[in-house]
A and B are shown apart, each in its own frame.
Chain A
Amino acid sequence: DGGITQSPKYLFRKEGQNVTLSCEQNLNHDAMYWYRQDPGQGLRLIYYSQIVNDFQKGDIAEGYSVSREKKESFPLTVTSAQKNPTAFYLCASSSDRTSSKFFGPGTRLTVL
């Protein structure tokens, strides 16, 4: 079955530590995205990538970093520079930038 997988489902981190969230898709999509969701808020775009080895900052990129070395993978690193990292993180992909986005199941990150 084609789809998007995110791991882990729950992640706990101590303050000051970097942590990397995984996102893998087997839909052969060119574009991939990372969103952050906070309680009672809509989703906000962190980073997106339209093609391998290229990515752009979204609306709230500060304190985050990404890489796109393979078409299937778009990992997100939450660095210690992110002041409020506790949130639900959602990865998405689409065949191209203007096509419908498909979302993964999300990773809930909690900073202790």
Chain B
Amino acid sequence: GDSVTQMEGPVTLSEEACLTINCTYTATGYPSLFWYVQYPGEGLQLLLKATKADDKGSNKGFEATYRKETTSFHLEKGSVQVSDSAVYFCALSPNYGGSQGNLIFGKGTKLSVKP
């Protein structure tokens, strides 16, 4: 079945460092891809999304590009801030069949940014 694999954390960075969180997926067809962020004790917020190959999602300095050839959707940010400390989830949504529209999540990557 469809699945998402993302790099295990925790990831600890110094402020202004570069961030990459790897995410790869297995799916039939062309799913939509998402990154969600969860701050401590809160629900999930949609960070960015891409719905077709080569699309780039971006928001708040974060970017991710839908790479069909490598089945990847890596999250990147050029300069992280302490306020970016959170858990980041990669997810896919099938665009076919009975599971269409449902979200399938990776296990999450905890990011801690130190001043």
**CB-based contact B107/A42 at 8 Å:** yes
Question: Contacts A42-B89, A100-B49; is A105 near B42 (CB within 8 Å)?
Answer: yes
**Which B residue sits closest to A108, measured CB to CB?**
B41
Q: With CB as the reference atom, state the residue of chain A lying closest to B106.
A: A42
Flag if B102 contacts A45 (CB, 8 Å).
yes
Chain B: residues with Cβ within 8 Å of the partner, total of 23
**Residue A74 at the chain B interface, CB threshold 8 Å:** no
Q: Which of A4, A45, A104 contacts B103 (CB 8 A)?
A: A45
Residues in A with CB closer than 8 Å to B43 are 4, 6, 90, 103-106
Contact B107 A58 (CB under 8 A): no
Tell whether B44 is near chain A: CB-to-CB under 8 Å. yes
Confirm or deny: A55 has a beta carbon within 8 angstroms of a beta carbon on chain B: no
Partner of B107, one of A40, A96, A103, A105: A40
Q: Which residues of B contact A33 (CB under 8 A)?
A: 103
**Is A97 among interface residues, defined by CB-CB distance under 8 A?**
yes
Nearest-CB residue, chain A, relative to B90: A42
In this complex, what residue of B is CB-closest to A90?
A: B43
Shortest C-beta distance, B96 to chain A (Å), equals 11
Shortest distance in angstroms between B91's beta carbon and chain A's nearest beta carbon? 8
Tell me which residues across on chain A come within 8 A of B14, comparing CB atoms. none
Contact across chains for A98 and B45 when beta carbons are under 8 A apart: no
In the bound complex, CA of A48 to CA of B99 (Å): 11
Q: Measured between alpha carbons, how far is A97 from B100 in the docked complex, in Å?
A: 7
Instruction: Give the distance to chain B from A52, nearest Cβ to Cβ, in Å.
Output: 17
Chain A residue nearest to B105 in the complex (CB):
A42
Question: How many angstroms from the CA of A33 to the CA of B46 in the assembled complex?
Answer: 15
Give the complex CA separation of A33 and B44 in angstroms: 13
Q: Give 25 pairs: A residue, B residue, CB < 8 Å, sorted on A.
A: A4-B43, A6-B43, A31-B101, A41-B108, A42-B91, A42-B105, A42-B106, A43-B103, A44-B105, A48-B102, A90-B43, A92-B44, A94-B101, A96-B101, A97-B100, A97-B101, A97-B102, A98-B32, A98-B95, A101-B103, A103-B43, A104-B43, A105-B42, A105-B43, A106-B42
Residues of A near any B CB (own CB < 8 A): 4, 6, 31, 33, 40-45, 48, 58, 90, 92, 94, 96-106
